């Protein structure tokens, strides 16, 4: 093969960087699956820029997550396509919760379309559901590299997913804002944040925003105990309170989340959550007589521009993922351990959920109102 000066540069650069294929140019597919997340575009940009500048790669974007691979919906991805997207939320490739495993000949159709587009390696940016399909395709011989994505931060094997920091910033700002209204009106304000299985957003934003009670899926709660904490606060002259509740939190002794979860399930079998904040507000008002209002942050936490931290993390993931492609480390996911980017097998990352640590729960509990009854009697 004849090489021009750029590709010779890339070839030697690749050798110097220790790439196993010496910087051989490749045709790479990219998709973003599952719920959108601030920083998706930053990953796409990093992949494409390093891929083109460093390895002379070519890219094709599959639209709307796995739907694009199933139905062969593609768009070219070149330098022009990724120009200006770093600060943009959402994803220029769009997303969906399509699950090829649930479709007739789903995985086979994916493989056919990857081949039809000449795709040698597929980079999949997504959470555990999306990556379960990556693993299934990898087991059928597809060369896949994974990038962890979810504002919920519940993918195991990585300390942080990009998008989480942005969601926490948004939730913290919202808590700060309802704080002043709660105080002005002597109200209890319940702020419902996202977090299906893990309470990462709730605990980070709750502690950062100075919430008085934080309820997470990891620790089923007792509404009587919550009411008692609020009464004690009231007794010592704090006539307002802020509660942060994760959408997936559940009442002790109850099988399902106390929420208005609809029966409708997505293609990965998840019910749509949301509504526990309103339910809890009712229960608190009934028990305490304190005026209680709920605010559901919902998708506001997923929208808009990523924080600088998330742009940086997303960029590091994108750069590391394209390097994995050229090192031939397939079936792997880039992860953050401490402050180092590493990689682990995808099957390890999706095997279990990452839950909030006991240390963080203890930090939150240390700050909750626990005034002993004797002390309140004398005051
Ligand atoms: O997985 C991230 C997440 O934001 C969850 O916290 C939430 O339950 C779910 O996505 C909502 O998804 P959708 O936007 O598809 O309803």
pLDDT tens digits for range 173-200? 999 999 999 999 999 999 999 999 999 9
Contacts of 254 (CB under 8 A, 6+ apart): 220
User: Which residues have a catalytic role annotated?
Assistant: 152
Least confident range of 12-26, 141-155, 274-288, 305-319: 12-26
48 lines ligand 1 (CB under 6 A): no
Q: How confident is the model at residue 254 (pLDDT cuts 50, 70, 90)?
A: confident
273 lines ligand 1 (CB under 6 A): yes
pLDDT tens digits for range 40-67? 999 999 999 999 999 999 999 999 999 9
21, 326 in Cβ contact below 8 A? Answer: yes
Q: Using CA positions, which residue lies closest to atom 3 of ligand 1?
A: 35
Residue 60 Ramachandran class (φ > 0 left, ψ -120 to 50 alpha, else beta): beta
Taking the model in full, what pTM does it have? Answer: 0.91
Percent of the chain with pLDDT over 90: 87
Alpha carbon distance 163, 302 (integer Å)? 8
Q: How confident is the model at residue 341 (pLDDT cuts 50, 70, 90)?
A: very high
143, 122 in Cβ contact below 8 A? Answer: yes
Ligand 1: centre distance to CA 195 (Å): 8
**Mean local confidence (pLDDT), 312-323:** 98
Rounded to whole angstroms, what are the CA distances from 237 to 86, 179, 184? 47, 16, 14
272 lines ligand 1 (CB under 6 A): yes
149 lines ligand 1 (CB under 6 A): no
Residue-wise DSSP of 128-159: HHHHHHHHHHHHTT--EEEEEB-TT--BTT-S
Ligand 1: centre distance to CA 302 (Å): 9
pLDDT at 296 over 50: yes
Q: Using CA positions, which residue lies closest to atom 10 of ligand 1?
A: 35
């Amino acid at each position: 093969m004849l090489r021009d000066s750029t590709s010779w540069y890339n070839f030697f650069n690749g050798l110097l960087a220790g790439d196993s294929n010496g910087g051989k140019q490749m045709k790479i597919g990219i998709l973003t699956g599952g719920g959108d997340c601030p920083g998706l575009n930053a990953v796409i940009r990093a992949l494409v820029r390093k891929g083109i500048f460093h390895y002379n790669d070519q890219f094709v974007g599959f639209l709307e997550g796995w739907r694009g691979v199933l139905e062969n919906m593609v768009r070219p991805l070149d330098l022009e396509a990724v120009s200006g997207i770093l600060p943009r939320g959402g994803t220029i490739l769009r997303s969906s919760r399509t699950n090829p495993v649930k479709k007739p000949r789903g995985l086979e159709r994916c493989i056919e379309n990857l081949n039809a587009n000449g795709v040698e390696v597929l980079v999949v940016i997504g959470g555990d559901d999306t990556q379960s399909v990556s693993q299934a395709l990898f087991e059928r011989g597809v060369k896949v590299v994974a990038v962890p994505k979810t504002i919920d931060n519940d993918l195991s094997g990585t300390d942080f997913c990009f998008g989480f920091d942005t969601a926490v910033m948004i939730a913290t700002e919202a808590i700060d804002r309802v704080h002043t209204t709660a105080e002005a009106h002597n109200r209890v304000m319940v702020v419902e944040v996202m977090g299906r299985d893990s309470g990462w957003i709730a605990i980070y934003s709750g502690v950062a925003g100075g919430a008085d009670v934080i309820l997470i899926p990891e620790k089923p709660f007792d509404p009587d105990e919550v009411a008692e904490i609020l009464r004690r606060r009231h007794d010592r002259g704090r006539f307002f309170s802020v509660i942060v509740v994760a959408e997936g939190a559940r009442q002790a002794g109850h099988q399902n989340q106390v929420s208005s979860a609809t029966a409708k399930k997505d293609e990965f079998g998840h019910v749509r959550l949301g509504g526990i904040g309103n339910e809890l507000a009712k229960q608190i008002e009934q028990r305490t007589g304190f005026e209680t209002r709920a605010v559901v942050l919902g998708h506001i936490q997923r929208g808009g521009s990523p924080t600088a931290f998330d742009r940086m993390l997303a960029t590091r993931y994108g750069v590391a993922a394209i390097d994995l492609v050229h090192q031939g480390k397939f079936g792997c996911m880039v992860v953050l351990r401490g402050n180092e980017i590493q990689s682990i097998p995808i099957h390890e990352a999706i095997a279990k959920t990452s839950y909030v640590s006991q240390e963080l729960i203890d930090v939150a509990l240390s700050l909750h109102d626990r005034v002993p009854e004797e002390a309140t009697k004398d005051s």
